[in-house]
Amino acid sequence: MVLEATMICIDNSEWMRNGDYSPNRFQAQADAVNLICGAKTQSNPENTVGILTMAGKGVRVLVTPTSDLGKILACMHGLEIGGEMNLAAGIQVAQLALKHRQNKKQQQRIIVFVGSPVKYDKKVLELIGRKLKKNSVALDIVNFGEEDQDKSEKLEALLAAVNNNDSSHIVHVPPGPSALSDVLISTPIFTGDGEGGSGFAAAAAGGVSGFEFGVDPNLDPELALALRVSMEEERARQEAAAKKAAEEAAKQEKGEEQSTSQDTTMTDNVNPETSEPEKKTNDLMDDENALLQQALAMSMDDSSSTVAVRDTDMSDASADDHDLQLALQLSVQDGAVEQSNQTDMNKLLADQSFMSSILASLPGVDPNDPHVKDLLASMQSQSENKEDDKAPKEEEKK
């Protein structure tokens, strides 16, 4: 968003007829110029851009620095190719045009396209560069087209003389399949000294966006917002899950009270028909550890406090079991996945003997306790009611 006045120096010499850039060098250059003008005027509405040609009959200023993009693009029409480029005169006229800019607060910048060989000495160019630096004018050089032995060297020397604090840049564009403008988009000439890709440059790059979620908030604000909100929700849930895991580690020592509450939670477990990651149960079915499966079943409930309670019971039961711990953590994190498959869970819970064995292994729970027996009986009846559901579901699953 730097406030800048830019003069673009175009090479319209005979060397621009060559077709090594498609369709020809001049057209590639014109496209690049159009893109730069757009980028500059968009990054700050008070920026001004001017254009001059360096070849032809002599250096000619087509449009003095203006913020009117239409005027700039219009003057690019009907440009003729011919003559020889005069680099030194071009840069000096550009400097003069910038000196008489209307808004003295703007930084001065010259962008020069060098497509033909440079006939000036290195010394002359360095002198020009130093004069630009003295008057705090930045210079961007686009080296394309003809490549002879001294050209790069001379241009690099010019850049070194002008460069003040990395405000000036040089870009070498060899002929190739990609267009001149595409190569320039990723350079600091477009992005403006590392301010970050401007919205214009990102859009012009056609899909390679620097935006989060790959969606331009300007183009589709609702989608971008929805994506961002869901990302934040996911993050919040994961944080909550991590907190739960931390809590259960802290609650390792609790005993009897937890087990009585466990009875009620077991009934709760049957009813809410929510999350069960099918993939995980399938994996665990292979595991011979009954407690592991039980831990999984225990963790199916969404309510956080009960999960914590039940998980602590399980960790009580088999504190040394690393697989169990792993499964606990996995299940806690994955708790919110919505699936409607409960056949496995129901099967586990319906298995009377299985449940008794579980209860027996828990500290402080006596299977012969009348309360526990009542509970088991009620669960059994509930699972019988669900058999109708179970059968078709199992068929679906298979």
List residues near another protein by CB under 8 A: 99, 104, 130, 133-136, 164-165
Write down the least CB distance from residue 50 to another protein, Å. Answer: 17
Which C-beta is closer to another protein: that of 71 or that of 101? 101
Strand partners, 9: 52, 112
Which C-beta is closer to another protein: that of 128 or that of 309? 128
Give Cβ neighbours of residue 157 (< 8 Å, ≥ 6 apart): 122, 125, 126, 129
Which C-beta is closer to another protein: that of 57 or that of 104? 104
Write down the least CB distance from residue 104 to another protein, Å. Answer: 4
Which C-beta is closer to another protein: that of 103 or that of 305? 103
Give the residue carrying structure tokens 């010019």.
158
Which C-beta is closer to another protein: that of 193 or that of 384? 193
Write down the least CB distance from residue 33 to another protein, Å. Answer: 27
Write down the least CB distance from residue 148 to another protein, Å. Answer: 30
Which C-beta is closer to another protein: that of 122 or that of 172? 122
Which C-beta is closer to another protein: that of 105 or that of 322? 105
How far apart are the C-alpha atoms of 215 and 225, rounded to whole Å?
10
Specify the 3-state DSSP secondary structure of 395: helix
Write down the least CB distance from residue 134 to another protein, Å. Answer: 5
Write down the least CB distance from residue 229 to another protein, Å. Answer: 40
Using a 10 angstrom Cβ sphere, with 0-12 exposed, 13-18 middle and 19 or more buried, the burial of residue 361 is: middle
Of 55, 125, 113, the C-alpha closest to 85 is: 55
Specify the 3-state DSSP secondary structure of 150: coil
Specify the 3-state DSSP secondary structure of 154: helix
Write down the least CB distance from residue 160 to another protein, Å. Answer: 13
> What letter represents residue 190's amino acid?
F
Cβ density class 210-248: b for 16+ within 10 Å, e for less: eeeeebbbeeeeeebeebeeeeeeeeeeeeebeebbeeb
Please check whether residue 324 is in contact with residue 310, taking contact to mean a CB–CB distance below 8 angstroms. Answer: no
Which DSSP string do the residues of 208-263 spell out, in sequence order? ---SGGG--TTT-HHHHHHHHHHHHHHHHHHHHHHHHHHHHHHTTT--HHHHHHHH
Write down the least CB distance from residue 106 to another protein, Å. Answer: 10
Which C-beta is closer to another protein: that of 135 or that of 352? 135
Joined together, the tokens standing for residue 220 give 């589709």
Write down the least CB distance from residue 170 to another protein, Å. Answer: 20
Which C-beta is closer to another protein: that of 127 or that of 223? 127
The one-character DSSP state at 20 is S
Specify the 3-state DSSP secondary structure of 61: strand
